[in-house]
Structure 1
Amino acid sequence: MTVKMIAFDIDDTLLNSDGKILNSTKQAVTKALAKGIKVVLCTGRPLAGVTSYLDELGIIGDEQFIVTNNGAIIESISGHIVSKKVLDNAAYRRLVKYGHDNGLKYYALDDDSNVYTDDRDINRIAVIQAFENRAGIYFRSPNELPDDFEVTKVAYVGEKSDLDPYEDAVKSEFKDICYVVRAGEWFLELMHKNVSKASGLQDLSTKLNIYPDEIMAFGDEQNDIPMFQFVGNAVCMENGSDKAKGYASYVTDSNDNDGIAKAMDKFVFGK
């Protein structure tokens, strides 16, 4: 298999347990870029939450791309939008109302990486997300925002015990308008129904004339499963969830033990 594109999830994949990129990963990415391989960060984060990693990896210019918000936005590193799929105002209002009616804390994200909520007691997960993504938090209800206000996603957040009882119900309630995914224990994320990491990679690979079997993807969680199903070589980190591992073609070492570099040596560089 000739690898022409490599897609990386960020949290617990590209980043180790300390939130850092391993030197072995940096070296492997530098080598891949030198070979002309497209290196694509494919993440649930907004753009503001990944720019420092792009700089650190040397991914720059209008010929390299990023997939953010779980596939809702695809753009070049220099800011050219390839595609954008968002939730309209009616969908946003419906999701907020459901959260209020069922006691679910939430935040919404716009296409400028800003966090919005009207939960009086802002959940700690929303605060952490805003900090990690270098985003502002705006305390606004839907009625305090423009009638055409759109969001890239809404996330119901809380402890595992808060979200577990609602996961199936939320998927059923919003299956007509949303792609719903449990992105981790503390997140139940809802996006445009045609959005996923797979759809983002598909749109981008079509633009670049790259076939799925020429794409390698690294991930660790349930929101990585769609891209695992799309690409030719799906690599799950050893620290990943059992569900994600079930869809991988290869399980590499952990994000703390050079898992990315080891898999790239095996499949990309032929060591």
Structure 2
Amino acid sequence: METKILFADIDGTLLNDQKEIPKENMTAIQKALDLGHYVVVATGRPLDSAKAVAKDLGLMMQGCYLIAYNGAIVYDCGNEKVLKKESLPLSYVKELFERAKKAGLYIQTYKGNQIITTQDSPELEAYRNHTKLSYQVVEDVFEVLDEEPQKAMLIHLTDKSKLEQFQRDNMEWQKGKCISLFSMDTYLEYCPPGATKAAGVDFICEYLDVPLKNTVAAGDERNDIPMLQEAHIGVAMKNAKEEVKACADYVTQRTNNEAGIAEVIEKFLLSES
């Protein structure tokens, strides 16, 4: 059996809607690792949040990797080291904060793995509950930031159209500076131009010397589409957005609440066919 790599999104894919890891997923992942396959957790979450999920999955070990911040960071779990890191220039982040303020939208960025924002708001509280990260609310973000962050993110909890309008209004500005993407209906993320999950797939394949034809990627949201298209087999979860299903090679019969990743592993990594 040839060595393969599984790239799996976290929310809506590895985790169920209660943000728990189905036991069947954990069992299937362990079987894949025992056979010598690699497992990569690919997420828009910051590195510490992704590491916490990997730890719960028992993936902080050799053969396991993380793609965090939508591809801005690639991390070796077994050797506990960052393999790749990209960032946004502070001038771009500052302009995003100014544009978000003008549009009346909440925005945050990161110092390492800590949330940095100017507003103590429902958006911040919801995001903190989701990621379990610490935070700072400050008057001037740029007096706190001492290095370039991996991304900035706008959040609106009730009206996705406001984020979509912001993205459209600033599409010309972002050209050559950064990319924008939705990781959830409530999250509009601005990342370095080379920070995509697809770029993470290419980097890890080259790093591990595993050909793309031996890769499988699974996800459910729009920021997963580049990863699904880059991998040899792109899998959309049954619960995925319709546009994600449209670009996938396979759609699972089980949702993330029914251990759909176990289905993916059994079909594409554990089967000889």
TM class, shorter-length: over 0.9
- One-letter amino acid of the structure 2 residue matched with residue 250 of structure 1: Y
Moved more, 132-141 or 229-238: 132-141
Partner of 1:48: 48
Contact 2:72–2:86 (CA<8 Å) still a contact in 1? yes
Contact 1:30–1:57 (CA<8 Å) still a contact in 2? no
Partner of 1:212: 212
- What do the CA deviations read for 1:118-157 (whole angstroms, capped 9, x no partner)? 13xx3423222223323211113234225x5311111111
- 1:257 to 1:205, Cα distance in 2 relative to 1, 3 A: same
Matches within 5 A, 1:76-155: 76-77=76-77, 78-110=79-111, 112-119=112-119, 122-140=120-138, 141-146=140-145, 148-155=146-153
Aligned equivalents of 2:33, 2:206: Cα separation in 1: 20
Instruction: Give the TM-score taking structure 2 as reference length.
Output: 0.91
Matches within 5 A, 1:169-248: 169-248=169-248
Aligned equivalents of 1:89, 1:178: Cα separation in 2: 12
- Residue segments in structure 2 that go unaligned for 5+ positions in a row: none
- One-letter amino acid of the structure 1 residue matched with residue 137 of structure 2: F
Per-residue deviation at 1:165?
A: 2.3
- What do the CA deviations read for 1:171-223 (whole angstroms, capped 9, x no partner)? 33212211110111101100001110111121121111112221111100000
- One-letter amino acid of the structure 1 residue matched with residue 143 of structure 2: E
Partner of 2:24: 24
- 1:133 to 1:61, Cα distance in 2 relative to 1, 3 A: same
- 1:168 to 1:46, Cα distance in 2 relative to 1, 3 A: same
Aligned equivalents of 1:62, 1:85: Cα separation in 2: 24
- One-letter amino acid of the structure 2 residue matched with residue 48 of structure 1: D
- What do the CA deviations read for 1:246-270 (whole angstroms, capped 9, x no partner)? 1111000211123211222222222
Moved more, 208-217 or 257-266: 257-266
Aligned equivalents of 2:14, 2:162: Cα separation in 1: 28
Contact 2:10–2:43 (CA<8 Å) still a contact in 1? yes
Partner of 1:5: 5
Moved over 3 A (4+): none
Identity, % of aligned pairs?
Answer: 27
RMSD: 1.8
Aligned equivalents of 1:175, 1:205: Cα separation in 2: 28
Instruction: Give the TM-score taking structure 1 as reference length.
Output: 0.92
Contact 1:48–1:134 (CA<8 Å) still a contact in 2? no
- What do the CA deviations read for 1:56-93 (whole angstroms, capped 9, x no partner)? 32212354221101000111114211110000211111
Aligned equivalents of 2:3, 2:233: Cα separation in 1: 9
Aligned equivalents of 1:124, 1:134: Cα separation in 2: 15
Contact 2:92–2:177 (CA<8 Å) still a contact in 1? yes
| Secondary structure of residue in 2 paired with 1:101 | helix
Per-residue deviation at 1:2?
A: 4.3
- One-letter amino acid of the structure 2 residue matched with residue 149 of structure 1: E
| Secondary structure of residue in 1 paired with 2:258 | coil
- 1:163 to 1:123, Cα distance in 2 relative to 1, 3 A: farther
